[in-house]
Structure 1
Amino acid sequence: MMDWTDRHCRVFHRQMTRRALLYTEMVTALAIRHGDRERLLGFDSFEQPVALQIGGSDPKLLAEAAKWGEDYGYREINLNVGCPSDRVQTGRFGACLMAEPELVRDCLGAMRDAVRVPVTIKCRIGIDDQDEEEDFTRFVETVMQSGVTTFIVHARKAWLKGLSPKENREVPPLNYGRVYRIKQKHNHLHVVINGGIDTLDACVAHLEHVDGVMLGRAAYNTPWLLSEVDSRIFGDVRGIFDPLDVVERMKPYVSSELAKGVWLQNITRHMLGLFHGMPGGRLWRRVLSEQAPKPGAGIEVLEKAAKEVVDRINRPADVQPARPGASCAA
């Protein structure tokens, strides 16, 4: 989710769930050493719990980056060994590291030695010609030697040559069974499954076999489904019932960020899917897409987009449209 799950996105998602663990976009260990750490690592305490996802292949550098993440207050440090993009491979991190399980083990071990917060790994079930059950099992069992016990597994292989990052999310077939079986073989591991999961019904079904579920693009493209996570997954009383309430909750944050010089579009681009599949959803997206990028766009654009939704809901019709919250079923 590079360039997607920035701090504005996380504040938005946190309006709908207090319990889900949110992850940053992947930040390279080298950037953390030499870059603007406040820009790269800073976040609002409202976003907690948040995990920092980092990339790299130098144990010493990763340990240093992990310590910076802990110092900034992240609850977990995650090493990404699943991203297949060309720029990631060029830097020798991401999915290509699945070909070097001993190096991954050493990286994670160094990170664990540097911090007190949990260190976890995100990986694929294999890369390129690694297509045997034994290859994935060998990778997991080698990495386990680092002491890391949480594996977040995208249940697809990654083809490092010949497929784009987008194709790598869609073309290689899903193999949930392989993830289930690694949990069965090593029951003490905390296994989180990822890939092609787009409803809470599917999440509940997966939780019969593994310990957790990671949502990526489903949470981004249809964020309202997060409003049922606390009640359906964690058993809490549902705290929010209408996406229009989310808009109201976002206003103070948006106003504060605008005052710092942040462009409205940088925030609202993450909110485009809030009314996906609901009355007024297209009007909401159109107003934000057309007006938020304009210089000087302010909170009035958000209010106008919300008003379009309300007007659409209240528009006379043979059958009165349901309130947005009532029309969304996970």
Structure 2
Amino acid sequence: MKIVFALFLSLSTFQGFAQKGEPVILNVIYKFKHINDLNKPNKPFEQEMILRLGKTESRYNSWTDEVNMKTAVKNANNSGKSSSSSGGVFGFVPTVFVKSKGVQDFDLLQYPGLDRLVRVVVMGDSNYLIETSLPVIDWKVSEEKKEIGGYTCQKATGTYAGRTYIAWFAPKLPFRCGPWKLSGLPGLILEAKDLTNEVSFTFKELSRPEGIESTAPRKSRVIKVSEKAFDRAYTAFEKDPVSVYQSQLPIGADKAQLAYVDDKGVPFYAEEGKKMYESLKTDLKKRKSNPLELKIDAKGTGQVIK
């Protein structure tokens, strides 16, 4: 049915425009697929993602994680376990939760009218805000059309971060946003795939919000940092999450421990969690990394950014 409508960081809490948000007009769920290990092309990373659209801005995050978190909160009631996605307590001991899929707890906010892109990333016991300009994508719009979700969509081709994407946008949905960092077309992007078929955002469903929702980030207290500073913190967290988490806690806090969170959002503690985490690190060393964003050298060869 169609919907029609016209570390290493300065610890300063950010209280700017990104926290205000707008009422959500429309929700879009995409099936996201990414072959992040070229050694395993038949085992891509997959999640459902949700794009919440306001009148002039949007928020994009993992719908799969939202659903898993609701289940975890329900199961954690009266259990003594934390339902935190990145840091909390278990057995009265500070605990950092490390996910099998890496640091994926984030909000990505697009502000087309302000030319702003904002990431809010949960890492350990802190929420980091990274603000940059929206990517400028030189889209080439063609006359080719197809129907997606009951809407007539038009084809556009554009290159961003070393990948060329075929996008399909709906002119009757007047939003200049899309999934992830894709934006800048005269209509909502309902589908996008790169030419290598290594990355895709496939439309699943579109709906109005059931209650009051906002495009504001889910975390209200954040630390604003530069992209380079965050990358340094991210690298340190990947190398030793317990030490980084411990440094975020108050002086004199109990020694932190690690818990491993599997693909379904289920946490494992103590020795079992440590063994699973060590297995993950071994697997990561064997991977042929294929990140979402590539950079191009002088010869035009795609190289890994991080």
TM interval, short-chain normalised: under 0.3
**Greater RCO, CA 8 A, separation 6+:** 2
* TM-score between the two structures when normalised by the length of structure 1: 0.22
Higher helix share: 1
User: Normalized per residue, which structure has more strand?
Assistant: 2
Report the TM-score when normalising by structure 2. 0.23
